[in-house]
């Protein structure tokens, strides 16, 4: 007697495997040599047993039938694989045959017909009939059991059909690990594919690198016993990008075990855009710290409060909510009912904007730019006011600095014009007299030459001051420090001045010579300016005194003059501070201060009194350090 064909049954439902096995063995046509509940196990049994035929379910939790089918045929090429499915889907049958299946049998087929359908693939083709006598060898009393088993299969299929056909949105049925076995036309249109093209496709391919969300949702259904799992993912097609929401629900057997997964798919792009817009607005309002953005009720009481409002005004939300916004205004404006006026203007015009002083919680003031907008609901009812405030104190200070800089530039031009006028007039007049006076006396000629020389020196000082100020602005007084002797530095400064003013009386006193590290050119420039200032505006003799201090050196430049005019003392070291027509550009002392500060030191003015001469004191550290350290 020839050997009967061997069969391996693969289905994740043990109950169904029992039913199918009993029918196949009862037919007397097959030997069932193995069972498996997963595609991976099917591949191992195919390799081990090389069965004549394998009945392979489509939906299994770890590896479904469509995934396992090529692997089974790879390890056992002679095995005939019949896909056993609960789906009536032409596309699924086509896909199964493309992967190598010899047939696709729906689970809705009467169970007593199953052996005959399988025999066609192992007994000689579609016209083959199973051996006689008596057709299939069905045990007595089997009809009642067959009817009961068939009812279970029909119930299994009907549950799926009801859910699938009642859905009015994009939907699909998947295996337990996400392969699509059936898709409706709505889903196919949503993803710009044909329904048949989706069969056998892992839905994760459509999620654009969000397959982990699909896997997590499937695990919650198959392992966590959840009845609904939802996730969202982007979808990119030729028409652009959209966002889909996928709701997964398990289809279970009578024992509660999941058989398949039903997916409902919705295009929620408009909802996502609205949600994103609302979220961005919420983040803008609540997180922005440069603007106070809050709501007032119809009476002007604070109804909402963002981080920017707390940052600018100093109130925490629980301290200000419910209070009238009058508290932000200076007392004089509150008394004049200016806050109420602003709300009336916003109500009348729709919006009102102004700039002015406002008061923080700690009582300090800041310059605010304010916009108040009346807010209405869809029915046109007035609901309150939206108020946006920005702290413009720094901007106002910068604008004030800009205004002062413009004034200083105009002042510099005026001073420069004044400084140029006198020496150029002297030079021009002297040259004219020299051209016209052939018989000038020697002393008169000498006076003209002295006047020209003095005017030229005055022009040179002007050029030097302007150049130094420009360089200081350009390179922020870059230093090239060296080790210096205090005594040698002061001697060199005195000699330079004597070369320009040979008759000037300049005394030098160094109590103790010490070394310091400083930029010799910059320090020399500062000393030259102080000595020149003493000779021009003070009285000789001029004294140059140096002494060590606890952390550096101190240099005093003093003269016998009456000192600086009281009106200039407070701004003596500012740029362009000068004493009128006799005062030059007013840049010299400013340069001295910047040079001292760039080394980490300072310069100060010491007025005369109590036997003390007019003096300027320069303090320098032994080593340069950052200003203010």
Model confidence over 407-451: pLDDT tens digits?
766 656 655 665 565 567 667 777 777 777 667 777 777 766 766
Please give the pLDDT value at position 434. Answer: 75
Residue for token pair 């007039």: 425
CATH architecture entry for 6-153: 3-Layer(aba) Sandwich (3.40)
Q: Which uninterrupted H or E stretch holds 372?
A: strand 365-376
Q: pLDDT, tens digit, for every residue of 200-239?
A: 888 888 887 788 888 898 888 888 778 889 998 888 877 7
Mean pLDDT within 343-362: 93
Q: What is the CATH number of domain 288-391?
A: 3.30.450.20
Mean pLDDT within 525-531: 84
Q: pLDDT, tens digit, for every residue of 258-312?
A: 888 888 898 888 877 766 765 665 665 555 567 888 899 999 999 988 888 888 9
pLDDT of 172 above 90: no
More confident of the two residues 516 and 627: 516
| Integer Cα distance of 21 and 35 in angstroms | 9
Q: Which uninterrupted H or E stretch holds 171?
A: strand 170-174
For residue 376, give both structure tokens: 């209405």
How many residues are listed for the chain in this entry? 629
* Other CB atoms within 10 Å distance of the CB of residue 354: 12
Q: Can you name the CATH fold of 167-274?
A: Beta-Lactamase (3.30.450)
pLDDT of 175 above 50: yes
Cis peptide upstream of residue 561 (ω within 30 degrees of 0) = no
288-391 shares its CATH topology with 397-471: no
Strands 482-485 and 382-391: unpaired
Residues 251, 222: contact at Cβ < 8 Å?
Answer: no
Categorize the per-residue pLDDT at 629 as very low, low, confident or very high, splitting at 50, 70 and 90: very low
Tell me the backbone φ, ψ of residue 479, rounded to 5 degrees.
Answer: -105, 145
Mean pLDDT within 112-140: 63
Please give the pLDDT value at position 139. Answer: 39
Going along 202-267, which residue ranges are E strands? 229-237, 240-252, 258-267
| Integer Cα distance of 581 and 458 in angstroms | 13
Q: Please state whether the predicted TM-score (pTM) of the whole model is above 0.85.
A: no
| Integer Cα distance of 160 and 138 in angstroms | 30
Q: pLDDT, tens digit, for every residue of 453-497?
A: 766 765 776 676 666 655 555 445 567 889 999 898 898 888 877
Lowest mean pLDDT among 14-18, 293-297, 419-423, 555-559: 419-423
Residue ranges of domains in the chain: 6-153, 167-274, 288-391, 397-471, 477-621
Q: pLDDT, tens digit, for every residue of 71-104?
A: 999 999 999 999 888 766 667 778 888 889 998 8
For residue 221, give both structure tokens: 């259904």
Q: What is the CATH number of domain 397-471?
A: 1.10.287
| Integer Cα distance of 21 and 30 in angstroms | 9
CATH class of 477-621: alpha beta
Residues 372, 355: contact at Cβ < 8 Å?
Answer: no
Computed over its alpha carbons, how large is the radius of gyration of the chain?
49
Tell me the backbone φ, ψ of residue 548, rounded to 5 degrees.
Answer: -75, 150
Q: Which uninterrupted H or E stretch holds 160?
A: helix 142-166
pLDDT of 141 above 70: no
Question: Helix/strand/coil (H, E, C) string of 27-78?
Answer: HCCCEEEEEECCHHHHHHHHHHHCCCEEEEECCCCCCCHHHHHHHHHHHCCC
pLDDT of 160 above 60: no
């Amino acid at each position: 007697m020839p050997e009967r064909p061997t069969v391996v049954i693969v289905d994740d439902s043990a109950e169904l495997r029992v039913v199918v096995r009993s029918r196949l063995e009862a037919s007397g046509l097959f030997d069932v040599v193995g069972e498996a509940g997963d595609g991976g196990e099917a591949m191992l049994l195919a390799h081990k047993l090389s069965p004549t035929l394998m009945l392979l379910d489509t939906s299994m939790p770890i590896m479904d039938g469509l995934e396992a089918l090529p692997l089974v045929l790879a390890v056992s090429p002679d095995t005939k694989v019949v896909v056993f499915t609960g789906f009536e889907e032409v596309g699924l049958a086509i896909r199964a045959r493309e992967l190598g299946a010899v047939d696709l049998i729906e689970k809705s087929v009467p169970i007593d017909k199953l052996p005959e359908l399988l025999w066609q693939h192992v007994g000689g083709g579609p016209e083959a009939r199973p051996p006689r006598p008596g057709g299939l060898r069905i045990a007595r009393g089997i009809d009642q059991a067959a009817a009961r088993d068939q009812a279970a299969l029909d119930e299994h299929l009907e549950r799926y059909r009801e859910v699938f056909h009642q859905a009015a949105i994009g939907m699909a049925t998947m295996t337990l690990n996400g392969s699509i076995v059936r898709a409706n036309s709505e889903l196919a249109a949503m993803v710009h594919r044909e329904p048949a093209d989706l069969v056998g496709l892992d839905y994760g391919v459509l999620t654009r690198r969000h397959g982990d969300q699909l896997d997590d949702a499937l695990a919650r259904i198959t392992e966590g016993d959840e009845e609904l799992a939802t996730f969202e993912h982007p979808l990119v097609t030729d028409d652009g990008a959209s966002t889909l929401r996928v709701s997964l629900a398990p289809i279970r057997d009578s024992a509660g075990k999941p058989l398949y997964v039903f997916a409902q798919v919705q295009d929620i792009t408009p909802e996502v855009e609205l949600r994103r817009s609302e979220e961005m607005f919420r983040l803008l309002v609540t997180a922005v710290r440069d603007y106070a953005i809050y709501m007032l009720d119809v009476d002007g009481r604070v109804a909402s409060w963002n981080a920017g409002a707390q940052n600018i005004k100093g109130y925490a939300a629980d301290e200000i909510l419910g209070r009238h916004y009058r508290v932000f205004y200076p007392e004089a404006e509150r008394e004049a009912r200016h806050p109420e006026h602003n709300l009336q203007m916003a109500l009348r015009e729709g919006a009102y904007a102004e700039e002015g002083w406002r008061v923080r919680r700690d009582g300090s003031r800041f310059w605010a730019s304010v916009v108040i907008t009346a807010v209405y609901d869809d029915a046109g009812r007035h609901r309150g006011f939206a108020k946006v405030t920005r702290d413009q104190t720094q901007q106002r200070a910068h604008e004030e600095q800009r205004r002062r800089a413009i004034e200083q530039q105009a002042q510099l031009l005026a001073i420069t014009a004044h400084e140029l006028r006198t020496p150029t007039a002297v030079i021009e007049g002297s040259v004219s007299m020299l051209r016209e006076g052939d018989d000038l006396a020697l002393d008169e000629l000498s006076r003209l030459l002295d006047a020209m020389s003095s005017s030229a020196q005055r022009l040179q000082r002007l050029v030097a001051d302007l150049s130094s100020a420009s360089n200081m602005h350009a390179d922020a007084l870059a230093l090239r420090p060296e080790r210096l002797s205090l005594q040698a530095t002061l001697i060199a400064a005195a000699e330079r001045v004597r070369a320009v003013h040979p008759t000037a009386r300049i005394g030098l006193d160094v109590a103790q010579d010490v070394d310091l590290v400083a930029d010799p050119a910059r320090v020399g420039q500062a000393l030259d300016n102080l000595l020149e200032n003493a000779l021009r505006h003070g009285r000789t003799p001029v004294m140059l005194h140096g002494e060590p201090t606890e952390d550096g050196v101190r240099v005093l430049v003093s003269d016998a003059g009456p000192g600086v005019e009281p009106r200039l003392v407070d701004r003596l070291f500012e740029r362009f501070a000068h004493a009128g027509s006799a005062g030059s550009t007013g840049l010299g002392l400013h340069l001295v201060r910047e040079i001292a500060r760039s080394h980490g030191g300072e310069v100060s003015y010491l007025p005369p009194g109590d036997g003390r001469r007019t003096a300027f004191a320069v303090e320098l550290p032994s080593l340069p350090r950052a200003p203010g350290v």
